[in-house]
A and B are shown apart, each in its own frame.
Chain A
Amino acid sequence: MSNFDGLQIALSSLYAQQKALQVTGQNIANVNTEGYSRQRVEMTANSGPITPALESRYIGAGNGVTTGDTTRITDQFLQLRGYQESAVQSGLQQSQSVLSDVELAFDEPSDSGLSKLISGFLASFDDVANAPDDSSARVALVQQGQTLVDGFNALDSALATQRTSAVNELGSQIDEVNTEASQVAALNQSIASAVANGDSPNALLDQRDQLVSKLAAEVGVTVRPGDVDGTIDVFVGGTALVRGASANPLTMDVGTDPAQTVHVTWANDSYPAGVTGSTGGLLSGVNDVIPRYRTGLQTVEQQLAGQINAVHETGYALDGSTGIDFFTTDASGRVEVNPDIVADPSLVAASGSAGATRDGSVAQKIADLGTVADGYQQLVTGLGVESAGVNRKVAVQASVVQNIDAAQQSVSGVNLDEEMTSMLQYQHGYDAAARFLTAVDQTLDTLINSTGIVGRS
């Protein structure tokens, strides 16, 4: 044991308390920083040599305190769960937004939706039945028919426009994902070299966690520690998006099939990527939800045309001809009012027998068709059910994510009260160490200046 050991002990304490104070200061400075995980200094008591030596024995009290690494306090498992749940949430929110836009396009129940047009169209058959030889009633009927067809076409093209903008959004999201993935790869490299050097790159780790949680919301990721210390590998659907310092880009391509199915694939081998998250939600909106409602609408339109045609074909026009279709399909397969009837409304087959020009019985039969609007009503109700279901799921998922966020915050967040208390703690520790230094100094002073001078005045 040396006289100067005490000084060493005091010095080590001063260093340690000061370092701890600085880390506390760092925590306080970053209390509002997004994604910051609080840091703590590990202090270990230095107990001096413990291996017995041949000719000597250690009788000192220890060597003070050493500080270890500054560690970030995070919970890895909470993080992984957070990634999973936020992917689900983003996916659901995206589906919710797609369905909400579809509902806006349908605009039911209201006076401006298709159901009103269908009623108006049937009512104009009543008018023709009441005055079968009146050309103005026939002209009005043809116009109503065209308005109805236009209504269906307008709704279909609104849905098509929605799909196009969703595809564009998907494209830009994929680009964003690729950028973030390459940033994660770059961070992996910096962190790996810092760790190899023995540093604790806590700010870089926080940054990387932020990026990964953004990626989780966008495509749904799983994370595993990489081969090199300090790196992580990010997987999307089982394939690596980021492996060490290299990133695999994703790409989106629009198929050439009639439905123009969109695929998200890996750029280097064109295998389909199993994306979830908001990209997955957009993908299902583009490939499933919107095409489903467009097809449903087309089916409704064709069924309506078929039902009307079936009765119309049994009727006779003013000139006695029969077997006429009210609705035909145009070159692109869309339903339209028979162009012959548009050109000559007298071809509307209102009569029940040839030559009876004032007989409107077939027109009356068409007006009495009660089931014409059923298909459309079912489509709209189905839309309501689907949308309401997703809304409920979003609400539930929001509280799940909130809980996980709160749990993560409780582990990694900075509490100012705690930091204040720690600050006081380290401050007093520093004061006490300084006092101890003074005390040792005084003992040395006594030893050096006051011993061996007996008799000296």
Chain B
Amino acid sequence: MSSAFRITERSLSTSALAGLQATLSQLQDTQAKLSSGKAISRPSDSPSGTMNALRLRAGIDRADQLDRNASDGLARLGMTDTALQDGLSTLRSVRNAAVSGNNAAMSATDREALAEEVDGLRQSLLATANTSYLNQPIFAGTSSASTAYDPTGIYQGDSGTMSRTIAPGVSVAVNTTGIEAFGPAGNDVFKTLSDISNDLRTNPSNLSNDIANLDAGSVRMQNALSSVGSRYDQIDTMQSRNQVNQLDAKNQLSDVEDVDVAATTVDLQMQEVAYQAALAATARSIQPSLLDFLH
């Protein structure tokens, strides 16, 4: 307040009121902050804080979605892993049968029995290849086919990859195509298994050839399995890291947006004291006048 050389009753009361108003308005601001818990309730409270808050909020929302993507990816890879393990054990059983059948001492009836066993194993491998997740065949790539392989073993899918973004800028393929797991269409393990079954019945001398093909198929499936395993680990690690980052972002957001309750409560106390002092001063300065002293 300025000090004029001549003070009047009005100017005294005007300036006292102005001071009280200023203190009261500060008090009101502090009270609003404490009851809402927000230090920034509108952009003008802190323009730079608002910019940070908007960015952090967008990042936190994105992290939620990336987490969902990661979970979806883990589920698919998990199913793929189980299916491929089943497939590998099926191929091992087929190999045993083929090796037994390759023994010259086997009789035709025995080989017939083995051939039927191989047929059964082929059917079960087909069923494994047609595993589905959420009504989608997991080995069909990105095609719209309802099963990855038709009943006769012909590949219906394509070679597309399904990718999921699991972290900003990080994208991981979450599928394995039938081609990758079971072999190129027309020359895959199903053909090898049919060959083994036929050769067991009609041409046992070709069995060593078939076993070689079968081994190649097993190696391919093993490679596909390792790829699935490493991708699973990658997504798992990224998901955990994402969660930690999201927590950090939430803390940062709280620092920017939320009010420091302890500091603001202290401010409130100090402003209350200041207001009371101002009121007392006003009372003392407005009351006395010359009239009190004249008779």
Chain A interface residues toward B at CB < 8 A: 31-32, 99-100, 103-104, 106, 108-109, 115-116, 118-120, 122-123, 126-127, 129-131, 133-134, 351-353, 355-361, 364, 367-368, 370, 373, 376-377, 380-381, 383-385, 387-388, 391, 402-403, 405-407, 409-411, 413-417, 420-421, 424
Contact = CB atoms under 8 A, between A and B. Distances in A.
Given A119-B57, A387-B43, A415-B8, A109 B50 contact: yes
B257 A413 contact: no
A403 B2 contact: yes
A380 B43 contact: yes
B44 A103 contact: yes
A405 B13 CA distance: 12
Interface string B11-32: 1001100100000000000000
Contact of A109 (B6, B18, B57, B134): B57
B68 A364 contact: no
B61 A116 contact: yes
Contacts of A106: 43
A63 B289 CA distance: 38
Contacts of A31: 9-10
Contact of B65 (A126, A409, A411, A417): A126
Contacts of B11: 405-406, 409-410, 413
A409 B14 contact: yes
A194 B72 CA distance: 92
Interface in B123-143: 134, 136, 140-143
Contact of B6 (A120, A123, A126, A410): A410
B40 interface: yes
Contacts of B47: 381, 384-385, 388
B289 A109 contact: no
B8 A368 contact: no
Interface in B110-158: 134, 136, 140-144, 158
B213 to A, nearest CB: 30
The 6 closest A-B pairs by CB, nearest first: A384-B43, A413-B8, A410-B4, A384-B47, A387-B44, A359-B142
B160 A359 contact: yes
Given A377-B55, A384-B44, A388-B44, A358 B7 contact: no
Interface string B263-283: 000000000000000000000
B134 A131 contact: yes
State which size class the interface on B falls in. Answer: 35 or more
Contact of B162 (A359, A416, A417): A359
Contacts of A356: 141-144, 158, 160
B164 interface: yes
Interface of B: 1-2, 4-11, 14-15, 18, 40, 42-48, 50-51, 53-55, 57-58, 61-62, 64-66, 68-69, 72, 134, 136, 140-144, 158, 160, 162-165, 168-169, 171, 257, 289-291, 294
Contact of A414 (B5, B8, B144): B8
A407 B2 contact: yes
A381 B141 CA distance: 45
A31 B289 CA distance: 13
Given A100-B44, A384-B46, 14 more contacts: A31-B9, A103-B42, A108-B42, A115-B54, A123-B64, A130-B72, A358-B140, A364-B163, A364-B164, A387-B44, A388-B44, A405-B14, A413-B8, A420-B290
A352 B69 CA distance: 18
A130 B40 contact: no
A68 B50 CA distance: 66
A424 to B, nearest CB: 8
A376 B54 CA distance: 10
Contact of B9 (A104, A130, A414): A414
Contacts of A367: 65, 165
Contact of B142 (A358, A364, A368): A358
B132 to A, nearest CB: 12
A76 B216 CA distance: 106
Given A357-B142, A385-B47, A406-B15, A413 B57 contact: no
A109 B40 contact: yes
